[in-house]
Amino acid sequence: MAVPFDSQRAYLEERREEYGWAIRSGLDMIAGTDPQTILPGAKSIVVVIEPYFREAFLSDSAGRVREEIVAALEESG
């Protein structure tokens, strides 16, 4: 069985106030950290990420990792 993403659940729980918009729109991000709530019996997960707000990445905010992410996004179009 696909196991829950406990670290992501903790991250979201610590920042619950930042995700109020998601809760108000009906998106239960915390429930989504446990694959069994979305698809009971799931054995694996494929994660696809699409940036929805590129301006959120300030040029001096996150160092080398940020630069690698931005470069990969720019290459993908």
Domain ranges of the chain: 1-45, 47-77
List of long-range contacts for 30-34, beta carbons under 8 Å, 24+ apart: 33/4, 33/5, 33/6, 33/8, 33/9, 34/4, 34/5, 34/9
Q: For the segment 8-67, what is each residue's pLDDT rounded down to a tens digit? A: 999 999 988 888 788 888 888 889 899 999 889 989 888 777 776 666 555 555 566 777
The Cα–Cα gap between 29 and 19 comes to 8
